Amino acid sequence: MAIRACRLEELPPGSRKILPAGRFGIGVFNRDGDLFALANYCPHDGAPVCLGAITGTTESTGSYNATWLNDGGILRCPWHGWEFDLQTGKSVVSPTKVVRTYPVHVENGWIVVED
């Protein structure tokens, strides 16, 4: 089922909207022109994950060594801080835990999410 989220101008880069759709709501994000839609439900404990901070994450090649990466592409759940990849919905620490994602595209100037 196709859901019209909003006009493209209403979701500028760096912003998000929570749609009253799906079982828990759907968060739509604009990252530098790329659009992502995720269920507003954290697989860890049911938090409204789409309300969390958009940030980056770290990886390491050994003790005390940390590189910052994927800035703007990580959603941190507001309840317990779990990191989720905005594009795939996968948890960074536990990749089998996934936030459900939805296909999203632009049609005639409208952002459309497929449920």
CB distance 83 to 91 below 8 Å:
yes
CB of 46 to other proteins, least distance (A): 15
Q: Given the complex with other proteins, which of 15 and 94 has the nearer CB atom?
A: 94
CB nearer to other proteins: pick between 19 and 74 = 74
Least spacing, CB of residue 44 vs other proteins, in Å: 8
β strands within the chain, DSSP E: 2-7, 16-19, 26-31, 34-39, 54-62, 65-76, 83-85, 101-102, 104-107, 110-114
Q: Which is nearer to other proteins, 65 or 108 (CB)?
A: 65
> Could you say which DSSP state residue 46 is in?
-
Residues near other proteins, by CB under 8 A: 44, 57-60, 62-66, 77, 80-83, 92-94
Please check whether residue 98 is in contact with residue 92, taking contact to mean a CB–CB distance below 8 angstroms: no
- Least Å distance, CB 81 to other proteins, is 3
